[in-house]
Structure 1
Amino acid sequence: MRALISCCLALLLLPWPAYADDAILVFTRTAKFRHDSIPVAVETLGSLAAEQGLRVVHGEDSGVFTAEGLSAFRAVVFANTTGDVLDEPQQAALQAFIEGGGGFLGLHSAADTEYDWPFYGELVGAWFHKHPPGLQTARVTLHGGGDDGVQWPITDELYNYRRNPRPWVQVLATVDEAGYEGGTMGDDHPITWCRPMGRGRSWYTGLGHDAAVYADPDVRALLRRGLAYAAGTSPHC
């Protein structure tokens, strides 16, 4: 009996959810604009995840967002989702998953998703406001860790956000608005960031509109870091 009680207590102390494997859910449902780059994003995430011993499961059925459905995953990726993609019970399941120890990674228009759900606004960090016309080239600057101050060029659709997320997140990269037209956030324009959420983790980048971006080695290195953090295999984002 004493052994049984000890076993039960040990189970209660395990983090929720109890992951069945090292799978990551890549969710690409869209209710508004649909990006042509989604297939490339899914392929890239699969390749980068495999490097880390992780397995990607791609889907667009929001029915997986239940406590049981999400318990099979270490993290959920919203890869260029748009609009209202989850109903209220599904939202509750995702929130419990994140707060209980799961991870979230948002790509680009993940910030153009679930505007009426306050928790999601905190999870993604900042919602999309508008973007300059077309693709433009800007300079990205990395912040923190051994990469602090490293810069590289990017050509992509560069989002402006409804708020600067810096007070609530750890900013990992900014873009220099002086190098392109249409930026509205001023001298401090975060484009990639992360934050803890309950016992879970959230990581987001505004890059990823254009399919060509996913072949950029600097972007791939950034996504590799994001996957490791969201999946909980690295404590550093």
Structure 2
Amino acid sequence: MRQALIVWGGWEGHEPELGARAVKAMLEEEGFAVRVETSTAAFADPAIADLSLIVPIYTMSKLSKAEESNLVSAIAGGVGLGGYHGGMGDAFRESTDYQFMCGGQWVAHPGNIIDYQVDIVRRDDPIMSGIDDFPYRSEQYYMHVDPSNEVLATTTFTGAHAPWIDGVVMPVVWKRRHGKGRVFYSSLGHVAKEFEVPQMRTILRRGLAWAAR
């Protein structure tokens, strides 16, 4: 049985505990044995190198050097990494090796909670199979992203809240490699209620399963 680790905490505005419960349930439905921790100290445990998947849900906060080094080494060695929104894409702002591994970092969400569209750009990818472009209401993440990411979905900014980004096409969902490990990220999921959106839930579930060793 594949083993997964969820580590949640950090900024409470993203409802990390509720998100962890939702992710745990979907991974168990996929046949994973799931362990849940609430301290970044879990990342320093050498045993994480034997896991199939690690899911950080830990907006902002800090990693110690030992935690960062061990986590990055585990992924480079073949453990999968997957996550969503700020729990992975706005975590550990001072840890540049972590950001390098993830393939992106949040920098803004102009307008805060707004209506926008998610455009599927890789309909041939199994993670996006059967999913059409869809409207979404949440924070529209503006991110600094790695050009080596394999982008699966994007969104286009209108400029209504920041005129200088009018027409900017921004990745929403991507996958990548870090060493031997697979990395998956979706910027959807500001609060736990968004797990009720079928497209958001399906994309995340499939992405985590893809990332897992």
For normalisation by structure 1, the TM-score amounts to 0.78
Identity of aligned residues (%): 25
Number of residue-to-residue matches in the alignment: 207
Map of 1:35 onto structure 2: 13
Deviating more after overlay: 116-125 vs 147-156: 147-156
Q: Residues of 2 paired with 1:182 and 1:122: CA distance?
A: 27
Q: Which has the larger radius of gyration?
A: 1
Query: In the TM superposition, what whole-angstrom CA distance separates every residue of 1:10-50 from its partner, at most 9, and x where no partner exists?
Result: xxxxxxxxxxx5221111131xx322422331122122112
Hey, which of these two has a bigger chunk of strand by percent? Answer: 2
Match for 1:101 among 64, 72, 78?
78
- For structure 1, the 5+ residue unaligned runs are 1-20, 233-237
| Cα deviation digits, residues 93-119 of structure 1 (max 9, x gap) | 111100110011122112222233222
Residues 112, 128 of structure 1: 8 Å contact kept: yes
CA RMSD of aligned residues (A): 2.3
The 1:159–1:88 alpha-carbon spacing in structure 2 relative to 1, beyond 3 Å, is same
Of residues 132, 150, 167 in structure 2, which corresponds to 1:170?
150
1:197-230 CA-to-partner distances (Å, cap 9, x unmatched) read 1000111111111222111111111011111122
Q: How far, CA to CA, are the matches of 1:218 and 1:58 in structure 2?
A: 25
Q: Does 1:160 align with 2:146?
A: no
Q: 1:1-237, aligned counterparts within 5 Å?
A: 21-30=1-10, 33-84=11-62, 86-109=63-86, 110-146=88-124, 147=128, 150-161=132-143, 163-165=144-146, 167-178=147-158, 181-182=161-162, 184=165, 186-232=167-213
Aligned equivalents of 1:48, 1:179: Cα separation in 2:
36
- Structure 2 unmatched ranges of 5 or more: none
Are the equivalent residues in 1 in contact too, given 2:60–2:91 (CA < 8 A)?
Answer: yes
SS at match of 2:204: helix
Deviations 1:36-81 (A, max 9, x none): 4223311221221122101222212222223533145211111243
Cα 1:114–1:185, aligned 2, differ >3 Å: closer, same or farther?
Answer: farther
